[in-house]
Amino acid sequence: MIEFQDVLLGFDRHRVLDRINFTAHYYDKIAILGVSGEGKTTILKLLLGLMHPDSGRILIDGQDITDLPETGLRDARMNFSIVFQDGALFDSMNVRENVAFNLRERGGLSEEEIEKIVREILSKVGVEEAIDLMPEELSGGMQRRVAIARSLASDNPKMMLYDEPTTGLDPITADNICALMSELSSGVPPDRKGLIMVTHDVDAAAKIAERFLYLNHGKIEFDGSLAALKSNDNPGLKKFIMEILI
């Protein structure tokens, strides 16, 4: 269970998050919508303890992580795996080494076991044939798939976090990434791996998520289903989601 309680955060007198409140289960499929600069990615960083709020509390399974030191955040972070917007692959490592990185860091596995897991995960995301390629040799879509594979190679996360997963991709590639994300979070609650995606791509969000949060001026102005999103009467939100209303 994830809980944000009256979370407030500002930078240089600009209030990015203004006492936001929401709860979520690990099996939820959530899209956080909003224009650039509205604090969407900040929510993911707060959730992982990469940033700390000015006030309010963030609870993971009932534990307040708000002021935990770096050494105390490991257990909470193991519930999640994040795919950053740029993929954040290690340029000096090939695909195999990128995906194997977390497995080696964790320890306890032989090289044969690591190779088997890496190939299984790459096959799952559809890029096993790229196992020996360097990141610079991959297309944008393949880089994103490898980044997802590397995230899946962490300690069996309960929830996937995606930061603008379709930004910079052509429409066909973006659709393929959406399909992959949906597949990885398929199944019936509470047994599925959920997701939180932050995005300004409303069309992509509508294909994947079941719950939608809309951030505006640091506040959550909407929290509901796709049907409720389409029928809302908030003028700013209606303009923002116009592409799925046409």
Q: Are 174 and 203 within 8 A, CB to CB?
A: no
Q: Are 33 and 221 within 8 A, CB to CB?
A: no
Q: What is the pLDDT of residues 74-96, one digit of tens each?
A: 889 989 988 887 667 889 999 99
pLDDT of residue 70: 86
**Domains in the chain, CATH or no CATH each:** 27-53+68-79+157-246 (3.40.50.300), 91-156 (no CATH)
Confidence label for 246 from pLDDT (cuts 50, 70 and 90):
low
pLDDT of residue 100: 93
pLDDT of residue 209: 97
Give the rounded distance of the alpha carbon of 5 from its chain centre: 20
Q: Average model confidence (pLDDT) for the chain?
A: 90
User: The whole model's pTM is what?
Assistant: 0.89
pLDDT of residue 135: 92
Confidence label for 4 from pLDDT (cuts 50, 70 and 90):
very high
Model confidence at 154: pLDDT above 90? no
Model confidence at 15: pLDDT above 80? yes
pLDDT of residue 54: 94
What is the mean predicted confidence (pLDDT) over 195-224? 94
How far apart CA 22 and CA 88 sit, in angstroms, is 28
Confidence label for 208 from pLDDT (cuts 50, 70 and 90):
very high
What is the mean predicted confidence (pLDDT) over 13-17? 86
32, two tokens: 């956080």
Where do the DSSP E strands lie in 121-246? 159-163, 194-199, 211-216, 219-224
How far apart CA 210 and CA 229 sit, in angstroms, is 10
Cα angle 144-183-77, degrees, rounded to a multiple of 5: 65
Q: What is the pLDDT of residues 105-122, one digit of tens each?
A: 877 889 999 999 999 999
**Strand pairing category for 159-163 and 80-83:** parallel
Give the full edge-to-edge strand order of the sheet including 14-24: 14-24, 2-11, 55-60, 63-64
